[in-house]
């Protein structure tokens, strides 16, 4: 496929040389000294676009030579004015060629950098995929292990408490199903598929996640307080993905609250309708963000202040919320602690 490209270049070069010849003739036959040679600038600009950057210097030299030759051959005008015009033309040609060459070099450096970035982001997204899979699936796996132990304890009792054991086994099944859905969703996210968006009750989804975390909440003596809006319209989003985000935010808040003295661990979960969007907010009175930390940085992948943290939970949450048409942000509470807030589109809004 080299031939057509070379042929195209050859055609461009021939066209430019023909233009230079035409300009030379016009320049020599008329006394519009500056005006005619100004057209040489167009030739240089076109050469930068159509040919290689290396063609600029020889073409500029050719244009200068033609300008000087034309000055010698021009029968019109005063000699002194002619010299000044020729010098002005030469300076214009050199400056233009220099600027064009610089711009072209910067453009190709930018293109190279963009190509490198694309490659890097492909490689990191592969790494991120495996790391995020491990992170997300670890949560239901840990819950399965806890319920498994509980189930064994109920069965080991004398007489065995079959009701409780059955409940624990049911929780294991629920968590296993959740783990499966998470793997599916992450896979579809990385394949660039759109989230599976359906209308659902946001408050019910929130309460489900709180129920799934109740063991953890009671172990850390945290009683969640609710301010869930009444009669909210359904959300239009991928329910499983949104529950992943809710779970992430809950676990982060629980971890943040571990530094608080026991009777003073507060967690508020609020939902409302603001400006046509559903809003979820989770506030805690934990340690908050380290002093001066820009809350937006928390959403960058691998940003973590925890010794065993991965710094992926919030980055994934942001990707999920934005893929579902919402926004997520973090704020410092005036009284201490952090609030994470995200928005989601309303089902009726989208249908209109
Ligand atoms: P990880 O939990 O693995 O560190 P995340 O992306 O979930 O990853 O969180 C990134 C960082 O955001 C945490 O390391 C922590 O510094 C901060 N953070 C998240 N949630 C809270 C919170 N509720 N209170 C204070 N800091 C938080």
Model confidence pLDDT, tens digit, residues 89-100: 888 888 888 888
Q: How far is the CA of 309 from the centre of ligand 1 (A)?
A: 8
pLDDT at 169: 94
pLDDT at 191: 57
Q: How far is the CA of 121 from the centre of ligand 1 (A)?
A: 23
pLDDT at 196 over 60: yes
Average predicted confidence (pLDDT) for the chain: 83
Give the C-alpha separation, 245 to 266, whole Å.
Answer: 20
Q: How far is the CA of 171 from the centre of ligand 1 (A)?
A: 27
Lowest model confidence (mean pLDDT) among 1-10, 234-243, 274-283, 298-307: 1-10
pLDDT at 123 over 70: no
Indicate which residue's Cα is closest to atom 20 of ligand 1: 252
Q: How far is the CA of 203 from the centre of ligand 1 (A)?
A: 24
For a pLDDT cut of 90, what percent of the chain falls above it? Answer: 33
Q: Please give the residue that has the higher pLDDT: either 151 or 51.
A: 151
Contacting residues for 224 by C-beta, under 8 A, at least 6 apart? 210, 217, 267, 268, 269
pLDDT band (50, 70, 90) for residue 240: confident
CA distances from 8 to 152, 180, 251 (A): 77, 55, 61
Give the C-alpha separation, 126 to 111, whole Å.
Answer: 23
Give the tens place of pLDDT for each residue, 261-299.
Answer: 888 899 999 999 999 999 999 999 998 987 767 888 899
Token pair for 91: 């300076």
Residue 304's nearest CA partner among 316, 37, 281 is 316
For a pLDDT cut of 70, what percent of the chain falls above it? Answer: 85
Ligand 1 touching residue 309 (CB < 6 A)? yes
pLDDT at 269: 98
pLDDT at 32 over 80: no
Contact 56, 44 (CB under 8 A): yes
Residue that is written with structure tokens 């066209």 in the block: 15
Contact 345, 199 (CB under 8 A): no
Mean pLDDT of 123-141: 67
pLDDT at 173 over 90: yes
Contact 328, 253 (CB under 8 A): no
| DSSP code at position 346 | B
Give the C-alpha separation, 287 to 48, whole Å.
Answer: 58
pLDDT at 295: 86
Grouping H, G, I as helix, E, B as strand and the rest as coil, residue 233 is: coil
Dihedral angle sign, alpha carbons of residues 187, 190, 194, 200: positive
pLDDT band (50, 70, 90) for residue 246: very high
Q: How far is the CA of 183 from the centre of ligand 1 (A)?
A: 22
pLDDT at 1: 39
First and final CA of the chain: distance in angstroms? Answer: 50
Which strands, in side-by-side order, build the sheet including 328-332? Answer: 223-228, 266-274, 277-284, 338-345, 328-332
Indicate which residue's Cα is closest to atom 23 of ligand 1: 253
Mutate to test the pocket of ligand 1, among 132, 296, 298 (most ligand atoms within 8 A of CB): 298
Lowest model confidence (mean pLDDT) among 12-16, 132-136, 153-157: 132-136
Q: Please give the residue that has the higher pLDDT: either 206 or 91.
A: 206
Tell me the pairing of strands 277-284 and 235-237: unpaired
């Amino acid at each position: 496929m080299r031939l057509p490209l070379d042929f195209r270049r050859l055609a461009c070069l021939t066209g430019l040389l023909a233009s230079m010849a035409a300009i030379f003739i016009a320049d020599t036959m008329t006394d519009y000294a500056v005006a005619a040679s100004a057209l040489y600038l167009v030739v240089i600009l076109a050469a930068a676009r159509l040919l290689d950057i290396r063609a600029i210097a020889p073409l500029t030299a050719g244009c200068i030579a033609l300008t000087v030759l034309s000055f010698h051959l021009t029968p019109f005008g005063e000699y002194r004015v002619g010299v000044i015009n020729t010098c002005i033309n030469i300076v214009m040609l050199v400056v233009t060629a220099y600027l064009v060459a610089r711009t072209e070099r910067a453009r190709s450096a930018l293109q190279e950098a963009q190509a490198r970035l694309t490659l890097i982001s492909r490689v990191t997204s592969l790494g991120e995929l495996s790391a995020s899979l491990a992170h997300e699936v670890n949560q239901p796996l840990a819950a399965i292990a806890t319920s498994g132990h509980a189930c064994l304890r109920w069965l080991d009792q004398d007489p065995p408490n079959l009701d409780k054991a059955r409940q624990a086994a049911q929780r294991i099944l629920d968590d296993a199903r959740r783990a499966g859905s998470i793997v599916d969703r992450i896979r579809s996210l990385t394949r660039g598929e759109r989230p599976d968006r359906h209308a659902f009750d946001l408050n019910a989804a929130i309460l489900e996640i709180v129920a799934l975390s109740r063991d953890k909440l009671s172990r850390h003596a945290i009683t969640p307080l609710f301010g869930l809006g009444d009669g909210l319209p359904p959300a239009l989003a991928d329910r499983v993905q949104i529950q992943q985000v809710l779970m992430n935010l809950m676990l982060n808040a629980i971890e943040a609250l571990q530094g608080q003295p026991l009777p003073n661990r507060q967690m508020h979960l609020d939902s409302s309708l603001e400006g046509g969007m559903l809003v979820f907010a989770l506030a805690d009175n934990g340690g908050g963000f380290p002093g001066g930390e820009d809350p937006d940085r928390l959403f960058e992948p691998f940003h973590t202040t925890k010794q065993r943290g991965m710094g992926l939970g919030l980055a994934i949450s942001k990707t999920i919320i934005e893929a579902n048409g919402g926004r997520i942000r973090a704020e410092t509470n005036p009284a201490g602690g952090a609030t994470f807030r995200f928005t989601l589109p309303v089902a009726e809004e989208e249908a209109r």
